[in-house]
Each structure stands twice: as C-alpha cells, then as structure tokens.
C-alpha cells in the first residue's frame, strides 16, 4: 500500500493525515465524523461485535492504519489481542463463538462476494443479532470498507505503526480514559 500522500493537508503546517486531508471539505468531514460516531454509539450490536468486523475488514483490505487501531470501548467489553489474532483467514476453525463466526462470515461476504450472504446466513444473523443488529452490522462494514479504501487510495498508510488504542468515536473522554490506560 502507498505511504505517499496523494492529497496535501488543508491545515497549514500539519502533515497529510485523514483529518487534515478531509479538511479540504469541512462540512462533509463533519457529517462523516457525526455518522461514524453515531454508528459506534448505537446499541443495536456490541462494541466487541463492531470491532471484530472492523478488524476483519482491515485484514482483508490490508489497511495498515485500520489493522493497528483498536477502539477503547471494545477493550472494555473484553476484546483482547489474543481474540483479535484469531480473526484471520482460518477463523472458522478458531475457538471463536458461533456469533463471532457469523459476524466474520457476513463481513467477508460484504467485502468480497455478496453471494456468500446466503439466506441461511441471513436467517442465522437475524436470529443472533435481530433486524436492527443486522442492519447496523451491514452499514458498519460498508463504512469500514469505504474508509479503508479511502485511506489506502489517498496514500495515508503508515509505514509502521504499533497497536494503538484510541477512544471509540462518539464516546466521552471519561468513558474511554480507563480503557486507554489499561491497553
């Protein structure tokens, strides 16, 4: 992936990064940030479920930034690096829960081949997540896929980056402070 930014920063004396490049379109940037925060704060599915899908997307799309970022509220819900290491191409054989495997299968269908979202998979997901949960997961994976592709296409991939715990978008600092220090 490219680590050479293709669009300059819109903020003087700041390097190109996702937020500084999108500052060229401030209203769209604000609305996207609002949408992304609302997605993360919606309770239809857990932070853990959302983060599992996000990390699977990051690994399939090879988004270096997305692969290394972790959101704090998923950590609070017990999602750790041991579990995330299982979110690879062999997750069906991994010691993950049936719910987690369904979420990962559906994520793969959205990212790769929508025909893999069979009626049986849809029925199993509706039984596990409910209608609202399935809708939220579907839209979330779409957001993750789009965001990863934008980062890659704009050349905003870091050459190296350690695993970094960030506050979950839309969360309050008080709610994320504990998780960020425990990482």
Query: Which pTM does this prediction carry?
Result: 0.90
Inter-residue contact 173 to 73 (CB < 8 Å) = no
User: Residue 92: which of 123, 121, 135 has the closest Cα?
Assistant: 121
pLDDT above 90 covers a percentage of the chain that reads 85
Half-sphere exposure of 36 (CA within 13 A, CB side): 16
Per-residue model confidence (pLDDT) at position 5: 86
pLDDT tens string 13-44: 999 988 899 999 999 999 999 999 999 999 99
Does CATH number 1.20.1290.10 belong to domain 18-182?
yes
Of the pLDDT bands very low, low, confident and very high (cuts 50, 70, 90), residue 176 is very low
d(CA 49, CA 161): 24
- ∠ Cα 75 92 40 (to 5°): 30
d(CA 165, CA 68): 9
Distance of CA 32 to the CA centre of its chain: 14
């Amino acid at each position: 992936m490219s680590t050479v930014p293709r669009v300059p920063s819109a903020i003087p004396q700041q390097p190109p990064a996702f937020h500084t490049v999108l500052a060229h379109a401030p209203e769209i940037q604000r609305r996207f940030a609002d949408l992304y925060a609302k997605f993360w704060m919606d309770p239809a599915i857990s932070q853990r479920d959302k983060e599992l899908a996000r990390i699977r997307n990051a690994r399939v799309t090879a988004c270096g930034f997305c692969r290394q970022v972790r959101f704090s509220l998923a950590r609070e819900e017990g999602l750790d690096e041991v579990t995330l290491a299982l979110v690879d191409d062999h997750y069906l054989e991994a010691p993950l829960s049936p719910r987690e495997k369904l979420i990962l299968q559906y994520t793969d269908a959205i990212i790769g081949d929508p025909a893999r979202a069979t009626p049986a998979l849809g029925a199993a997901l509706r039984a596990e997540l409910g209608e609202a949960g399935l809708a939220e997961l579907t839209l979330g994976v779409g957001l993750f896929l789009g965001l990863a592709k934008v980062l890659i296409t704009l050349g905003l991939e870091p050459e190296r980056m350690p695993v970094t715990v960030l506050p979950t978008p839309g969360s309050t600092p008080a709610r994320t402070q504990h998780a960020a220090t425990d990482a």
